[in-house]
Amino acid sequence: KAGVTQTPRYLIKTRGQQVTLSCSPISGHRSVSWYQQTPGQGLQFLFEYFSETQRNKGNFPGRFSGRQFSNSRSEMNVSTLELGDSALYLCASSLSDRSEQYFGPGTRLTVT
């Protein structure tokens, strides 16, 4: 069974631009969560989607948003990029809300 895939793997953007990252979960998984990893803050939860509904949200500004499609694929969007948004963005999928999450390889975003 294919794992979680994320595209693109690397991205360089300029301050003020917006970016969209994509995640395809493991087949059959309906829950998709997004995390941001930075050297200073570690792995921090952004939001979780289940059956196209945002079920949980972390403490990030409204510039960070996401959505989930009927096939469980998910996208996250960051608008008005700031230098501090440079990070590894990880997507994880799980079968249900009480099972382990499986992570994709991440998208490395660099904001200049």
With contacts defined by CB under 8 A, name the span among 13-21, 49-57, 63-71, 72-80 that binds other proteins.
49-57
Which stretches of the chain are assigned E, i.e. beta strand?
5-7, 10-13, 19-24, 31-38, 42-50, 53-57, 64-68, 74-78, 87-94, 102-103, 107-111
100 binds other proteins (CB under 8 A): yes
Selected binder of other proteins within 25, 29, 76, 104 (CB under 8 A):
104
Structural contact between residues 92 and 32, judged by C-beta atoms closer than 8 angstroms: yes
CB of 87 to other proteins, least distance (A): 13
Output the CA–CA distances (angstroms, integers) from residue 60 to 4, 43, 44, 65, in the order listed: 23, 13, 9, 9
* Of residues 7-36, those binding other proteins (CB under 8 A): 31, 33, 35
Task: Give contact residues for other proteins (rule: CB under 8 A).
Answer: 4, 31, 33, 35, 42-45, 48, 50, 55-56, 58, 90, 92, 94, 97-98, 100-106, 108
